[in-house]
Homo-oligomer: A and B are copies of this chain.
Amino acid sequence: MPRPASARDRVLTAYEDLLIESGERGATLDAVAARAGVSKGGLLYHFGSKDALVEGFIARLMDLTEEDIDIMLAAPEGVVDYIIRTSVNEGTAFDRALIAAARLAQTADPRAGVALASIHDRWLDVVTQVVGDATVARAIVLISDGLYYNSALMGMGATEPNDPTDERLDRLLEVIARLGAASRP
């Protein structure tokens, strides 16, 4: 690990930003380098190929996933509330990484698909633990997936607002409570 808040990290963030804003096609090495404020050569010094860049991005995503699960388990409002409310916008570093991964998965990069599937499974485990019923947990995680993917894929075409305090989410959570979900762990 090099000392300063490094070029390597800036490159990863630039890649993520470009995936979100312009899709996989727009996230070229030149564009990523420019965004990160390094030259193309500099980028390729840190990541020897585009493939290695994808690998690095996914590794960071998996780290953020573990962090987010810790936060989720400690959330004062409960796991279910947390997972549904944070399924909706692009605010946190984790949200952004997830949306970027969804963009990557669209282009059939199997690694992004596998990463997404494993994140989904982690959530399912945690929610199952909390609500006690595997099928109820599955329904909840699917709703979360639906919210995520809608914001990931529909972009400007979306009808869903991206506000985690939206009262429509309150109502959605009330309906979810009917499934038998404990709203607190």
Binding site for B on A (CB under 8 A): 21-26, 102-110, 112-118, 120-121, 133, 135-136, 138-139, 141-147, 149-150, 153-159, 168, 171-172, 174-176, 178-180
Contacts and interface: CB of A to CB of B under 8 A. Distances in A.
Contacts of A171: 135
Report whether over half of chain A's contact residues are helix, strand or loop; otherwise say mixed: helix
B22 A108 contact: yes
For this chain, the copies found in one complex come to 2
6 contacts: A23-B109, A105-B153, A107-B107, A120-B159, A133-B175, A142-B146
Given A114-B157, A149-B153, 5 more contacts: A24-B106, A102-B106, A113-B155, A145-B150, A178-B180
Contact of A110 (B121, B141, B150, B157): B157
Contact of A153 (B21, B116, B142): B116
Nearest to A143: B142
A154 B103 contact: no
A25 to B, nearest CB: 5
Nearest to A170: B135
Given A146-B149, A149-B149, A171-B135, A103 B108 contact: yes
B25 A108 contact: yes
